[in-house]
Amino acid sequence: MAIRRSIIRGTGHYLPERVVENSHFEETLETSDAWIRDRTGIERRHIAAEGQTTSDLAIRAARAALDNAGMTADQIDAIVVATTTPDLTFPAVATMVQAGLGMQRGFAYDVQAVCAGFVFALSNADGLIRTGQADRVLVIGAETYSRIMDWTDRGTCVLFGDGAGAVVLEAVDQPGTTDDRGILSSDLNSDGRYRDILYVDGGVGTTGTAGCLRMQGNLVFRHAVEKLAKTAHTALDKAGLTPADVDWLVPHQANMRIITATAQKMQLPMDKVVLTVADHGNTSAASIPLALSVANDEGRFKEGDLIVTEAIGGGLSWGSVILRW
Residues marked as catalytic: 115, 252, 282
Neighbours of 93 (CB within 10 A): 29
Q: Quote the distance between the C-alpha of residue 75 and its chain's center.
A: 24
Specify the 3-state DSSP secondary structure of 232.
helix
Nearest residue to 280 (alpha-carbon basis) of 309, 315, 260, 252: 252
The rounded distance, in Å, linking the Cα atoms of 121 and 70 is: 22
Residue 80 sits at φ, ψ, to 5 deg, of: -120, 120
Torsion of CA 22, 26, 31, 36, to 10 degrees: 10
Task: Tally the C-alpha atoms within 13 A of residue 211's C-alpha that lie toward its C-beta.
Answer: 16
Do residues 186 and 322 lie in contact, with contact meaning Cβ atoms separated by under 8 Å? yes
Rg, C-alpha atoms of the chain: 18
Task: Read off the DSSP letter of residue 75.
Answer: G
Exposure class string for 32-63: b at 16+ Cβ within 10 A, else e? ebebbeebbbbbbbbbbeeebbbbbbbbbbbb
